[in-house]
Structure 1
Amino acid sequence: MSPGLPVPLHPPASLGVIGGGQLGRMFIQAAQRMGFRAGVLATSDDEPAVQVADWAVIAPSDRLSALRLFAEQAEAITVEFENVSASALRWLSRTRPVRPGWKTVWVSQNRLREKSFLTRHKIPHAPWRPVRDEAELAVAIRAVGLPLILKTASSGYDGKGQVRVERAEDAGAAWSSLGQVACVAEGWVDFESEISVIVARGADGAALAFPVGFNRHRSHILDSTVMPAPVGPIVTLEAQTLALSIAQALETVGVLTVEFFVTSAGGLLVNELAPRPHNSGHLTIEAATTSQFEQQVRTLAGLPLGASDLIRPAAMVNLLGDLWADGEPDWPAALRSDPGVKLHLYGKKGASPGRKMGHLTVLDPDAETALFRAQAARRILTDSRTDGIR
């Protein structure tokens, strides 16, 4: 170990994650496979991460008494989503390693700060302007042009908290529909595709990028990812290099996801940052030598990074609550149709439209063939039910 670095934690040390969703669940499962105890700070006792945790604190994540109790049980702390109080993370960091640090979370949880960071570090991204009052809205229209996208500065995800503005006279109503909260106005990007790069960076500064993921969305929600992305070696290298440079500039210790637009000319524009594992990286559980969640465990515990290369090309498709509209999907039929399909369900109690309930992963020598197989298995979940196949 290099001088000045904290002593690594060894199993069965107790690791804690703030947030009880599926990302926390998969972090806990990865930690337990390595022999760690793992717990969670969650808001209710039926959340996905709580179901598999060794221990749990059930309370709001910004309540001081809950933070104290959480810190008493967790020897190191991470997060599963960015909408965590940065002040709470800063308070926790006084007595426990908190990775990623509160500054990384603070930047990425607010689009105004995130865009300012990208601008300051000359990282390519769409033109933008802040919108905090009507005067700034008028300036933004002139500066970035039309059409533009108004996005709330905080709390937006999966297409929520944003609206497209086609005409200047509609801008005021669009901002009002978002509650006239602080926003960013982004120039419209006519992109060819969307890709993402997941980076793991240790406390010693060592960092690795996973292969690029190629993402397809439906109704602003990620529908599928294939890895490696069919974007060619130049775009692949540029995307990984940019993602690594962002992690370095943020001094991130942990896992960071960078989402990109690929323009028709082959250029890259950063769309969003996420200081955590990402939906597009779920396929690394089976497809990579070290999954994104194991990398999160390793960086949190101060252990060396694992190799990030793919064992085999792979595809992942999301399972949304819409699949439950007419009853329980036919899991046996889908798994029987293709023995290579891997099923992950998150243990969520209510299946509402658009809610991420699970995913399917398929490995194949050809990534697009893997996607075809995963999509076919997903169709069978409901087709066999309506056809009466059991």
Structure 2
Amino acid sequence: MSQESAFIPPGATLGVLGGGQLGRMFAQAAQSAGYGVTVLEADEAAPAAQVTGRHLAARYDDPLALDQLARDCAAVTVEFENIPAASMQWLDARVPLAPAPKALALCQDRAQEKALFHRLGVPCAPHAVLAAGSDPSAVGADLFPGILKTTRLGYDGKGQMSVACAADLPAAWSALGGVDCVLEKKLDLAYELSVVMARGRDDSMVWFEPQQNLHRDGILFASFSPGPSIKPDIAEAAQNAARTVAQGLDYVGVLCVEFFVLRDGRLLANEIAPRPHNSGHHTLDSCTVSQFELQWRALVNAPLPMPRQHSASVMLNLLGDLWFDAAGRQREPDWAAVLALADAHLHLYGKHAPRKGRKMGHLTCTAATPAQAREIALRACAILGLEPF
């Protein structure tokens, strides 16, 4: 539908498709400003469903639930990208959406993301697209060793495999189901960073300073802001590239662009997340405005203030592994000791079934300087039994 530019005042109800932790934190931010929130999510015990005024317990393609969402809400957003395209298009004809279906659909597909980067002149990793049923022997030898990634549904290290040489490609592709994939050349990385930003319907754009990200086993382990390795020219180039992506998508809402920084100094775009991002969670405690406040502001056509970071921060992901001892017995982490740390901010998502690799919460350590924030985070690692960084 026509994306109206009128401001939607507090008291209105906003909708969110998806009931995970991102939906929960969006809801909490919107509710703090006086908005009602309705969540559409099949899981009765989902994190967002625990905190919202209304929960539509149904699939994302349920016609009755979608109709109720459209009738209840003044505007609707998403908390993750893999919402059925048909649902988004149906809603788009009835209620303002942010982001729009076209932008969300592009971000569901790694091959389309790469094509967007190329079209916008944003450098990305050398790669080849392997359509299902195509001949893998046609892939150039210069892309090996590489990483084979499914074009859809891959996250936190899932849906990807390392491929040492051309001879290994057919077996790796078969192991991923023979679906559409992207083969990316493995690169000599110095570090990874991300830029979280927001764009309004009036083309206004604001952004956070880039955060430096540390992954373990394909899952984000920690984010550092300011990033210890990020030089001013790299930060500026990353922010410019993120703004180019948002402009090129005609994007409305919060998005994150992840980047690789190579040892030779080059900056390459990796992926787009059309929503708030795990690496931006620190903004809840370290900045004048969080990524979730920017999400509801963009949705209701409120002004977008430029964020200011008032505290250095280290954000640690808290995975389900922490709920088990060395013998595999379930136990509760020592939250009392963690909470005794000055300027350690605990955020748990209300997930009742911990399991290995599942994001159960995060801990943000803030301080006047990056060194002090790092020291608090290292003490938290010692308490929780996390390998230090």
Whole-Å Cα distance in 2 between the matches of residues 152 and 83 of structure 1? 14
Equivalence for 1:218:
216
Equivalence for 1:154:
152
Whole-Å Cα distance in 1 between the matches of residues 223 and 298 of structure 2? 25
Equivalence for 2:70:
71
Equivalent of residue 350 in structure 2, options 327, 347, 352: 347
* 2:96 is the counterpart of 1:92: no
* 2:16 is the counterpart of 1:17: yes
Equivalent of residue 367 in structure 2, options 353, 364, 368: 364
1:257-311, CA deviations, whole angstroms, 9 ceiling, x for partnerless residues?
0000001122110010000000000000011111000000100011000231201
Whole-Å Cα distance in 1 between the matches of residues 281 and 132 of structure 2? 39
Equivalence for 2:192:
194
Unaligned runs of 5+ residues in structure 2 are 326-330
Equivalence for 2:268:
269
TM-score by length of 2: 0.94
1:301-346, CA deviations, whole angstroms, 9 ceiling, x for partnerless residues?
110002312011111001000000130111011112x121110000
Corresponding residue SS for 1:52: coil
RMSD: 1.4
Equivalence for 1:388:
none
Equivalent of residue 333 in structure 1, options 332, 337, 340: 337
Whole-Å Cα distance in 1 between the matches of residues 382 and 61 of structure 2? 42
Trace 1:180-329 onto structure 2 (pairs within 5 A). Answer: 180-230=178-228, 231-326=230-325, 327-329=331-333
Corresponding residue SS for 1:159: coil
Q: CA deviation at 1:134?
A: 5.5
Corresponding residue SS for 2:351: coil
Unaligned runs of 5+ residues in structure 1 are 384-390
TM-score by length of 1: 0.94
Whole-Å Cα distance in 1 between the matches of residues 63 and 283 of structure 2? 36
Structure 1 residue runs of 4 or more that deviate by more than 3 Å after TM superposition: 133-136
Contact 2:323 2:333 in 1 (8 A): yes
Contact 2:193 2:213 in 1 (8 A): yes
Distance of aligned partners of 1:382 and 1:186 in 2 relative to their CA distance in 1, 3 Å threshold: closer
Equivalence for 2:131:
132
Whole-Å Cα distance in 1 between the matches of residues 298 and 345 of structure 2? 26
Q: CA deviation at 1:382?
A: 4.9
**Which residue identity lines up with residue 224 of structure 1 in the other structure?**
A
**Which residue identity lines up with residue 87 of structure 1 in the other structure?**
A
Task: Specify which structure has the higher proportion of helix.
Answer: 1
1:134-179, CA deviations, whole angstroms, 9 ceiling, x for partnerless residues?
644222243x421011100100000000001002221111001101
Corresponding residue SS for 2:285: helix
Corresponding residue SS for 1:225: strand
Whole-Å Cα distance in 1 between the matches of residues 371 and 133 of structure 2? 47
Contact 1:330 1:382 in 2 (8 A): no
Percent of aligned pairs with the same residue? 44
